[in-house]
Amino acid sequence: MDFLVIRNGALYFEYATQWRDIMDDKGEIPTGRFESALAGSLRQVLNFYNQHWKEPLASVILSAVALEAQAEKAMAENSPLPVSKLTLVMGQPISSEWLVALGCCLRGMDGGTAADKEINLLGEDSRSRFEEEQLLHFMRFWRVMLPLSLAILVLTFAGADLFVSSTRIGIESRANLAIPGEEAAQISSLQNQAQNFNREVALVTAAEAMRSAKGPFVDAVLKISAANGITPLHIVLSSFGTPVSFIGSATNESAIVAFKGALTADPRFSSVNLPLTGVQTQGNTITFSMTFVFTPAAPPAS
């Protein structure tokens, strides 16, 4: 027994009672039990409707092939609404047992084109359901296939890396084994000699660069010192642009003053400072200390 609630042309609720629930032990349905089950189910459906909707029901429509009289009696006695039979009139009344055959006949006569829609109470046709099911099957396939493909790619790359690594190790091991012991010792000795030679060349190059860079400074200081009768005793040059510490000696103070003036007049020397506390007399020799900044002359433009 199937109970349907139809509102505004759409199915809102469905409630079914299985035949096996009202059969006796022999598989038969007594009339009293059928009427009692029908009346109880009808009351449940009416109570459910009254709890959810305020609009009153118009009527109860009965569609039955078997036990139609018993069903009509039970519903008339237990339903507060008028009960009517579902009957079509097409020249003559058509009872419920012919409704399915009549519907099939009418749809067959209509032509059955692809634009036809099914007659159902759910608003969903089988074509849409079929397309959705096909889409779900497709998505399930790729949901499994995509991770599997990625796993195969990862395993392929891992195998390729392992193969390349093992091949490289094998080649290196064969190359090492191919060299006899004496030749390997000679090669190792030659490599050490080459490293030592390169280290010495680097030291010579660094010394040459330092000498060539500081050569103009030494030449200029020595030239001005000799011209003014100064004997250099100690010169400290950290880098160009920083103060140079100079200690020298002379026979008289006039030579020291002349030496300072010569440095000041040379554009390569700046910040010449001769503190008086640094001038000391030791017998016939006068020692002094001074600081200045030396800036090499820019090379001529080519």
Please indicate, yes or no, if residue 10 is contained in any of the structural domains. yes
Instruction: Report the pLDDT value the prediction gives residue 179, as an integer from 0 to 100.
Output: 57
The answer to whether the beta carbons of residues 3 and 42 sit under 8 Å apart is yes
Please indicate, yes or no, if residue 289 is contained in any of the structural domains. yes
Cα separation, 230 vs 255, in Å, equals 7
Please indicate, yes or no, if residue 189 is contained in any of the structural domains. no
Q: How many CB atoms lie within 10 A of CB 250?
A: 21
Contacts of residue 251, Cβ cutoff 8 Å, sequence gap at least 6: 229, 284, 285, 286
How much helix, strand and coil, in percent to the nearest 5, is found in the chain?
A: 55, 20, 25
Q: Give the chain's largest Cα–Cα span.
A: 157
> Do residues 154 and 99 both lie within one domain?
no
Cα separation, 148 vs 154, in Å, equals 10
Cα separation, 171 vs 173, in Å, equals 5
Q: E strand or H helix at 62, and its extent?
A: strand 60-62
Domain of residue 267 covers 214-294
pTM, entire model: 0.35
> Do residues 164 and 239 both lie within one domain?
no
Per residue of the chain (302 residues), give pLDDT as tens: 888 888 887 888 888 888 888 888 888 888 888 888 888 888 888 889 889 888 888 888 888 877 778 888 888 888 888 888 877 777 777 777 787 788 778 777 765 555 555 555 566 667 777 888 899 999 998 888 889 999 999 999 999 999 999 888 888 777 655 556 677 678 888 888 899 899 888 888 776 665 545 677 788 888 888 888 888 888 888 777 788 899 999 888 888 889 989 988 988 888 888 888 888 888 888 899 999 988 877 655 54
Residue written as token pair 């109860």: 60
Please indicate, yes or no, if residue 117 is contained in any of the structural domains. no
Q: How many CB atoms lie within 10 A of CB 214?
A: 16
- How many domains in the chain? 3
> Do residues 154 and 224 both lie within one domain?
no
